[in-house]
Amino acid sequence: MPTTAVVTGAGRGIGLAFARRLAEEGHRVILTDVDGMAAELAAANIGGGAVGMQQDVRDISSHRRIAEEATALGQLSVWVNNAGVLYAGEAWEHSDEEIATILDVNVRGVMAGSAAAVSQMRRTGGGVILNVASLSALAPVPGLALYAATKAAVLSYTTSLEGDLRHAGLPIRVRALCPDVVNTQMVTSHVNDPGAAMLFAGPRPLDEAAVVRAGMALMSSRQIFRVLPRWRGVLSRAGDLAPSVGLGLIGVMRKVGNRRQART
């Protein structure tokens, strides 16, 4: 029986890169995106029987529908929860709509997708779920408080879900990838946004290919989550030992980001 893989938010960026790699490895891929046309065009470009479908990940029932579609095409073996949104600015200035949207997409979407994947995989021999989190899950990120909080929730959910799966004896793995800033449209669209200075304060942004390589390796490893690059995770964790010092250094980084934005 052919294997199938689902990637959310796959109309472009990291999601599309994951979908292409999974197709190259022999999976029949379902690409979903809130922009249905983008998902269909991406699937057509990938070929190999890839299918593009419109999906708003905020709709919990939509994940069950996608999981059923994937199972109808083959054995659902991979599910990548990639869809996400980012809002920048002071934490107290976000609109009601922004707060609701980022929580619904970044957190509820991941939880609903994971639950739908587990429900199908447990019946068909198991599989692996990859949740795309962020380095921001590990440390304070002024200007991106909402985004960081949602990614911390994704990381916590992933590690806890892995514990539940092990306790139940199910042959399903769940992993969280926590990359630093990636050079995608979601990031570059904030180049003139003062609240997003931290996105431009660190080293050169990662490219999509590096993120996909790390994600694919993580899915087949025993490690539950991975930070990319690894040294950034060490620095983020070190800040926990002296939070006041860490916040001071982050303040310096934010100024660096502001200067880089101004030059851009």
Cβ atoms 2, 28 nearer than 8 A: yes
Name the E strands within the chain. 3-7, 28-33, 51-54, 75-81, 127-132, 172-179, 225-228
Q: Which of 79, 147, 157, 225 is catalytic?
A: 147
**Given phi > 0 = left and psi -120 to 50 = alpha, else beta, which region is 229?**
beta
Distance CA 152, CA 146 (A): 10
Annotated catalytic residue 87: no
Distance CA 119, CA 115 (A): 6
Distance CA 56, CA 62 (A): 7
Dihedral angle computed from the Cα positions of residues 210, 218, 224 and 60, in that order, rounded to the nearest 10 degrees: 80
- Catalytically active residues, by annotation: 147
